Structures are given as C-alpha cells and as structure tokens.
Amino acid sequence: MSTIASHALVIMLHGVGSSGADLAPLASVWKDALPGAVFASPNAPSHSSFGAGYQWFSVAGVTEENRSGRIEEARPAFDATISAIIKENGFADRLDRAVLVGFSQGTIMALDAVASGRWPVGAVVGFSGRLASPLPLAPVVKTPVLLVHGSADPVIPSAETTRAAAALQPLGMNTETIIVPGLGHTISADGAARAGAFMAEALK
C-alpha cells in the first residue's frame, strides 16, 4: 500500500447539537490509512439553538427556501475556523493536502466550502448530508468527493446524497456515493473504513 508523500490535514466537521469531540475518535480509525496525518475536530462557532452542543448555522425554522441563505451567512465564521486550523498546522500553501470530513450539517458546510470555490482542498468526505449551497456553484479545483448515506436516515433523506452527486459531477468534481442499506443518521464502521481508503487514494 502506498503512503502519503507528506503530512496531510484532516478537518472533521460535526453536525447540529454535537461537538468536535464526537467526531474526534475517527482519527484513530484513519491513522493507519493516513500515516503522518494531522487531525482536527473543532467545535462549530455557535451554540446550538436547541441547547446542548454547537452549530454551524441555526436549523430553527429552517426551510428549503431559507437554508441556502443561512449557509451564506455562516460562511465568515466557518472560514475563520478553518483558516485558523490551516494556518496553525502549516497548510496555508498546501490546501491540496487538506481534507474536509463532514457529518450532517458538517457535510453541508464542507460541500459548500469546495462548491463555492472558497476552499480548494484535496478531498471531501460527507456523511449523511446534502448540498444546499447558494447558486451559482463555482469550484476552482476538481476536488474528489465521497458521500456516504444511510438508506434509513430519518433526518436527511439519502436522496439528498444522490442529488448532490448529480449537481457536483457536471462541475468536474469526481463524486462517489455509497448508500448503506438500513443505516440511520450515523456513520457505520464500513463507511468510515471506505472513507479512510478514499482519502488515502485522493492524497497519494
């Protein structure tokens, strides 16, 4: 198995009402596939509208019509969070060695980061999410994307992953989708393992 030529940076982005600590254990799952990688799992900038945890944007009263506007409003705080991690770890001039991994709302923000052209990273992995960015989409690099979703997700339907891929592929972003039969709104062991292999391949 080939190894990564230099260090990589994996930034994990949690969902609503969660925290960075909830995704941090994935680092131990992926460390063998990504030797020498640095893992970061920040808290989102705002406290959750529903009490515990944090959020990238509020989902209180969110609709199909207003979701993209909330994503746009969340960009400055999101970018400040990502920028601080990138600079702290010395990847400002090596964004092609950085990966964004999102779960649920974290996936929404990760996809927005690349689809808007703001963060031309080396790869994106999204679990249980959707593409809901303001149009037009304008990626500046052909970032490879892996989207994994449970067929039984009661929070965000798996059809959103299929829809996201259909929007990203024509933009030149090589998008792989995995719909896991019977899985709910969570990350399976198989999905996490596939993500590790995908990131290793994207960064080799």
pLDDT tens, residue order, the chain (204 aa):
333 335 899 999 999 999 999 999 999 999 999 999 999 999 999 999 988 899 999 999 999 999 999 999 999 999 999 999 999 999 999 999 999 999 999 999 999 999 999 999 999 999 999 999 999 999 999 999 999 999 999 999 999 999 999 999 999 999 999 999 999 999 999 999 999 999 999 998
pLDDT value of residue 5? 35
What Å distances lie between residue 172 and 110, 113, 114, 140, 141, CA to CA?
Answer: 17, 16, 12, 10, 8
68-104 burial by CB neighbour count: b if 16+ within 10 A, else e? Answer: bebbeebbeebeebbeebbeebebeebbbbbbbbbbb
Asked whether residue 188 is domain-assigned, the answer is yes
Q: Which amino acid is at 49?
A: S
Domain assignment present for residue 4? The answer is no
Could you give the residue numbers annotated as active site? 104, 153, 185
Q: How far apart are CA 134 and CA 96, in angstroms?
A: 24
Looking at the domain assignment, is residue 176 inside a domain?
Answer: yes
> What pTM did the predictor assign?
0.95
In a domain, 186, yes or no: yes
* Token pair belonging to 79: 């970018």
Residue 3 domain flag: no
Question: For the chain, what is the domain count?
Answer: 1
**Which structural domain, as residue segments, surrounds residue 182?**
9-203
3-class DSSP assignment, residue 183: coil
